[in-house]
Amino acid sequence: MPAIRAIFWDVGGVLLTNAWDHHERAKALQQFQLDPGEFQSRHELVVSSFERGKITLDQYLDQTIFYQPRPFTREAFRDCMFSLSQAFPENLAFAQSLANSGKYFMGTINNESRELNDFRIEKFGLRRIFELFVSSCFVGLRKPDCEIYRLALDLTQFPAERCCFIDDRPLNLECAAQLGMHTIQMQSPDQLKSALKKLEVTP
């Protein structure tokens, strides 16, 4: 088996909590006493553009929340959105140890809106770990679209068989595997370390 040279990571659900997935949205809707059905119908119409960087966070909020007067401010809702991001310290520390080893190219392949992505990179020190962020908001593509994985390979010029992609969702792993990348579904820190060890990936 060719040695693994590059490791690509999902961010939400692997290294951090999700940025604005259904659990996070539900918490915000409950806090601000918003109707979930009404919000969801609007969210579904614009989420693709939001995560591909085609509209800003303010434009997204205009279309999903502030299309009518609210008893709370835009700033309060934005602050809530950002506050929902939390780290998985053990996973972050392990990723950092792999980066520190100098043996592997470290990158992300993740779906996130620009403002939340930028915030999370800064807040959780992800630049210390990763050399490349193939984020949907930067490249205009979203997982599980095969083109986002192909772009990651093209940008780094590593053959697929020498790359590993880690994600918590099986659907996001399928196309990466079809392109020839090794894939690991994240379930727990110990399971991740064990799966990587089988690929001879250690700090």
Phi, psi dihedral angles at 150 (to 5 degrees): -65, -40
Domain ranges within the chain, ordered by starting residue: 6-18+86-198, 22-83
Report the SS3 class of residue 107: strand
Joined tokens for residue 13: 């659900």
**Whole-angstrom distance, CA of residue 4 vs CA of residue 112:** 26
Tens digit of pLDDT for each residue in 95-153? 999 999 999 999 999 999 999 999 999 999 999 999 999 999 999 999 999 999 999 99
Tens digit of pLDDT for each residue in 2-61? 899 999 999 999 999 999 999 999 999 999 999 999 999 999 999 999 999 999 999 999
Joined tokens for residue 160: 């697929």
| Full-model pTM | 0.96
The correct CATH number of 22-83 out of 1.10.1200.10, 1.10.150.240, 3.40.50.970, 1.10.600.10 is: 1.10.150.240
Third-level CATH fold of 6-18+86-198: Rossmann fold (3.40.50)
